[in-house]
Amino acid sequence: MAELAHNSWGKTDVRLSKLRRGADEDDFIDITARVSLEGDVSFAHTAGDNAGVVPTDTMKNTIYGLAQDHLTDDLEGFASVLAGHFLEKDWIDSAEVELSARLWQRVTPTGFIGGGSELRTAGVTRSRHGTEIRAGIEGLVVLKTTGSGFAGFPHDEFTILPEADDRILATSITATWRYAQLPEDTTSAWQTARRTLVERFFGDRSESVQHQGWMMGVALLDAVPEIDQVTFRLPNQHHLPFDLARFGMDDAGIVFQPVSEPYGDIAFTITR
């Protein structure tokens, strides 16, 4: 006997941009959206009956259709509108919407420079039981040349890493926080959150990625009172000292080899 224990279906990587002409300058919003629904569509699986299967093409169209009136800098608001729309169908139990916005830096009233890896993210999950609203940041690449060490760790037969009192620390910050209460201005809350993360990454000496991240997270909870939980993922973008002594040189310890793989992968959640 087989049983359908869980199912979801949705549309991923929906790219959408919206241009708002202003008197003095244009706004340009540029997002990637993902919608995912859950509901009682077990007959679709077991019997090929699609009566409840909202096509993922319809989901895509809905995102474009509702964007015209509803997409603003308040990403959380647009995600809520979308999730609410899908939940109107009574056989849908839960709708999850994830948005990520590329950040374009304004150069002129109608001109922008892009290309950065940093994304502002927002997520809303609405079900019959309630609504969860999340926001976050992804791909915020930071590096500091001092103010970070890693020492005092346990040793075993496979440990050859030297202790380091001072090293290059680099990561690509992904942080996702949950709003216990929605801030009045989600964009301003996001900017406060971002500023806090940046200030603490560069401002606090740390003894590990974990230590650095903890201080960032505590400061984030302090800075934005509506947040009740934040999850970090902080890959360690290693810059390995390149040993020049092998070539008979005096090694000044200033030449490094950045490596993409493998990488240290640190994840944690901080709550109030």
Nearer to a copy of itself (CB atom), residue 167 or residue 184:
167
Q: Kindly list the distances between the CA atom of residue 234 and the CA atoms of 26, 154, 175, in Å, as whole numbers in the listed order.
A: 35, 21, 8
The verdict on whether 155 is a catalytic residue reads no
* Interface characters, 175-194, with a copy of itself (x: CB under 8 A): --------------------
List the beta bridge partners of residue 179: 133, 227
Residue 164 touches a copy of itself, criterion: CB under 8 A: no
User: Residue 13, interface with a copy of itself (CB under 8 A)?
Assistant: yes
116 near a copy of itself, judged by CB under 8 A = yes
108 is catalytic: no
- Give the whole-angstrom CA distance, residue 40 versus residue 4: 10
Of positions 23, 24, 57, 128, contacts a copy of itself by CB under 8 A: 57
Q: Which of 11, 60, 62, 196 is an active site residue? A: 11
**Which of 40, 117, 185, 225 touches a copy of itself (CB under 8 A)?**
117
Buried b (16+ CB within 10 A) or exposed e, 50-60: eebbbebeebb
Which listed residue (62, 125, 196, 238) is catalytic? 238
How many other CB atoms sit within 10 Å of the CB of residue 177? 26
Our finding on whether 272 is near a copy of itself (CB under 8 A) is yes
Spatial neighbors of 12 by CB under 8 A, at least 6 apart, are 34
Indicate whether 1 belongs to the interface with a copy of itself (CB under 8 A): yes
Token pair 């300058």 in the structure block, residue? 25
**Helix, strand or coil for residue 57?**
helix
Active site includes 239? no
Active site residues: 11, 56, 238
